[in-house]
Amino acid sequence: MKRSWALGIVLLLAGCGPHYTIPNYETDEVEKVISSGRSPDGCIENLKEDAQKLNLKVRLTDVQQQATSGPISWIYANSYICTGKVLKTQS
């Protein structure tokens, strides 16, 4: 019982934030990759890791700080969102 409770706390503190892609509907290819992090540097690092997992090369286009609400939401929220545009490879 103690292990599951401790695991729940770790997951709460780890945070859940957006990590997703936006497709180009004309070509069905990934156009943008969105990642989050607790700091601007962490967000950029997560973006690079997500792009590497998808075998894509991305260029950072935007870093935004998201407002959190609630008395303890800052503990588990990733407050920075990074957007990366997928670079087309020349063939």
User: Is residue 58, in this structure, part of any structural domain at all?
Assistant: yes
What SS3 state is found at 62? strand
- Identity of the residue numbered 33: V
How far CA 30 is from CA of 25, 57, 79, 81, in Å, comes to 9, 11, 24, 18
In-domain check, residue 72? yes
Residue range 70-79, pLDDT digits in tens: 677 666 667 8
Asked, for residue 91, whether it belongs to a domain, the answer is no
Domain membership of residue 81 (yes or no) is yes
Q: Which of 74, 17, 68, 73 is nearest to 46 (CA)?
A: 17
Tens digit of each residue's pLDDT (9 = 90 or more) over 11-66: 344 445 568 888 888 988 899 999 998 889 999 999 999 999 999 999 999 999 88
Total domains, the chain: 1
Q: How many CB atoms lie within 10 A of CB 50?
A: 20
Note the pTM of the prediction, 2 decimals: 0.70
Output phi, psi for 28, to 5 deg.
60, 25
Structural domain boundaries enclosing 44: 2-86
Distance, in Å, from the CA atom of 61 to the CA atom of 26, rounded to the nearest integer, reads 21
